[in-house]
Amino acid sequence: MICGMKTESLKDITRFGIGGKSEIVYAKNEKDLVGCAKKMSTEGRQFFVLGGGTNVIAHDGGYAGTVIAVRTNSIAQKRNRVRVDAGVLLEALINKANKEGLSGLEALAGIPGTVGGALYGNAGAYGHEIQEVVERVRVFDGVRIRALSRKECGFGYRESIFKKKKWIILSATLIFKKDSADDLKKISRRIRTIRNKKYPQQLRCAGSIFKNIIAKSKNGRIASRQIPKEKIAHGKIPAGVLLEAVGAKGMKRGKIQVADYHANLIINTGGGSANDVRYIINTLKKRVYRVYGVMLEEEIRYLGF
């Protein structure tokens, strides 16, 4: 088998618990990750690089190519700098930083998934984003390994150059500020408590489905005229505000349901299908557009569609 491929169900490696079968490769180190990607590219094989699978909706029919599941797991600290592999869980990195009194990521506590996935989508919470601590990111561009500065990563709200390029994130060097370890741990504990109420760890979901709307953007200016100003937070209009107004809460199709307490959260109650998820997503996008004149954009990724 090429690169030690296995045929497995995507529902078993994605948090949503949805998806058919695919060939899967588990890359446990950088050499295997780059080598496998090179081999598949040379042979003209289609592949999809997957981190923790926490914000992915996989097709019911599976994926025709090969999924490379990144399981690299090295963390190395030198004073206030940390070099971390893409496959390291974000929570593990935050716990390490808090323990060492390194400030910068404590507000992201409780966000599931890997560091690579967080960099790909510039993960953030409570007014902070992972880009704030990025010094450089190492990637494989299909030909060679290269290092990108934070500026070259093109970070924006839930955006990065990695969404536009077929590059594989290998690792990152992050730079932190020194602070009290006890204080950082307290902040993260408080934030995890809040997050776990919205997204219990056992919940089959992909987190927030839609991006919030930047208030100063064209869509933001349109929406701002139609909602109370106090709903705008950290310069963004929560997608959940618009979704709630169009009746999203509690909406169901098959085994898929919008949470009755959070309009931007879609849950697989057990045995749900990607087809039903897509139906709800598309229906809600149309409803919001009809009422507010803005088209919501998904925060999640699609695999196999």
Positions annotated as catalytic residues are 158, 208, 299
Query: Could you tell me the fold of the domain covering 75-188?
Result: 3.30.465
- For 203-303, CATH number? 3.90.78.10
Domain ranges for the chain: 5-70, 75-188, 203-303
pLDDT of residue 2: 57
Q: Give the pTM.
A: 0.91
Give the right CATH number for 5-70 from 3.40.50.1000, 3.40.50.720, 3.30.43.10, 3.40.718.10: 3.30.43.10
Using CA atoms, how far residue 211 sits from 34, 202, 242, 247, 296, in Å, is 31, 23, 12, 18, 7
Q: Are 16 and 268 in contact (CB under 8 A)?
A: yes
Task: State phi, psi for 89 to the nearest 5 degrees.
Answer: -65, 135
Digit-coded pLDDT (tens) for 166-225? 999 999 999 999 999 999 999 999 999 999 888 888 899 998 999 999 999 998 899 888
Q: Which residue has the tokens 């390194």?
A: 102
Cα torsion at 15, 20, 21, 22 (round to 10°)?
A: -70
Supply the mean pLDDT for the chain.
95
- Helices (H) and strands (E) counted in the chain, each on its own, are 7, 21
